[in-house]
Chain A
Amino acid sequence: MKSYYDRPLLKGPHWGSNVVTYLFLGGIMGGLGLISLLSDDRPEPAMKKLRKTTRYTAFALAAINPPILISHLGRPERFLNMLRIVKFKSPMSLGVWGLVLYSGAAGANALRELADDGVVPKILRHLAPNATVPIQALLGAFMAGYTGVLISATAIPLWAAGKRHIPAFSVCSGAASASALATLLSTLQGNHEVLPRLERLEMAASALEIAAIADFRKRGGLATAPLFEGRIGKRLRNYTILGGIVVPFALNAIGGAVKLPKSIDALRSIAASTLTLIGGYVLRESLIEAGKLSANDPQVAFRQPS
Chain B
Amino acid sequence: MATGFFTDATLCIGCKACEVACKQWNELPSDGYEFTGNSYDNTSQLSGTTWRHVDFIERESVDESGVTASWSMLSDVCKHCTNAGCLEACPTGAIVRNEFGSVFVQPDVCNGCGYCVVSCPFGVIDLIEAVGHGDDAAKYGLATLHDDRLNERKTAVQATGGVAGKCTLCFDRQRVGMVPACAKACPTESIQFGEIEELRERAKARVETLQQRGVEAQLYGADDVGGGIGPLNAFFLLTDSPEAYNLPVEPVLPSTRQAMGYAAAAAAALTLATIGWAIFRGDA
**Chain A residues engaging chain B, CB cutoff 8 angstroms:** 1-5, 7-15, 34-35, 38-39, 42, 72-76, 78-79, 81-82, 84-85, 87, 89-93, 95-96, 137, 141-142, 144-146, 148-156, 159-160, 163-172, 175, 197, 200-201, 204-205, 208, 212, 291, 295, 298, 301-306
Give complex CA distance A193, B257 in Å. Answer: 43
* The one of B45, B94, B120, B264 that contacts A168, using a Cβ cutoff of 8 Å: B264
Give complex CA distance A1, B277 in Å. Answer: 53
Tell me which residues from 234 to 284 in chain B have a Cβ below 8 Å from any Cβ of chain A.
240-252, 254-258, 260-269, 271-273, 275-277, 279-281, 284
Which of B92, B256, B263 counts the most chain A CB atoms within 10 A? B92
Shortest C-beta distance, A158 to chain B (Å), equals 11
Given A2-B243, A87-B93, A154-B254, residue A78 in contact with residue B281 (CB < 8 A): no
**Selected A-B contacts with CB under 8 Å, 7 pairs:** A82-B113, A87-B90, A93-B91, A155-B254, A163-B257, A298-B243, A304-B251
Give complex CA distance A167, B90 in Å. Answer: 20
Do B242 and A302 have beta carbons less than 8 Å apart?
Answer: yes
Tell me which residues from 62 to 85 in chain B have a Cβ below 8 Å from any Cβ of chain A.
85
Do B243 and A91 have beta carbons less than 8 Å apart?
Answer: no
Shortest C-beta distance, A193 to chain B (Å), equals 12
Do A304 and B248 have beta carbons less than 8 Å apart?
Answer: yes
Chain B residues near A76 (CB, 8 Å)? 111
B163 within 8 A of A: yes
B57 within 8 A of A: yes
Q: A38-B277, A81-B93, A304-B121 are in contact. List 20 more A-B contacts (CB 8 A).
A: A3-B243, A10-B121, A72-B113, A84-B109, A90-B88, A91-B258, A141-B265, A142-B265, A145-B265, A145-B269, A154-B119, A155-B251, A156-B118, A163-B257, A167-B261, A201-B275, A303-B249, A304-B227, A304-B248, A304-B250
B30 within 8 A of A: no
**Chain B residues engaging chain A, CB cutoff 8 angstroms:** 36, 38, 41, 44-45, 55, 57, 85, 88-94, 109-115, 117-128, 130, 161-164, 227, 240-252, 254-258, 260-269, 271-273, 275-277, 279-281, 284
Do A204 and B127 have beta carbons less than 8 Å apart?
Answer: no
Q: Which residue of A lies closest to B241 (CB)?
A: A2
Chain A residues near B112 (CB, 8 Å)? 73-75, 78
* The one of A39, A141, A144, A166 that contacts B261, using a Cβ cutoff of 8 Å: A166
Which of B114, B127, B251, B254 counts the most chain A CB atoms within 10 A? B254
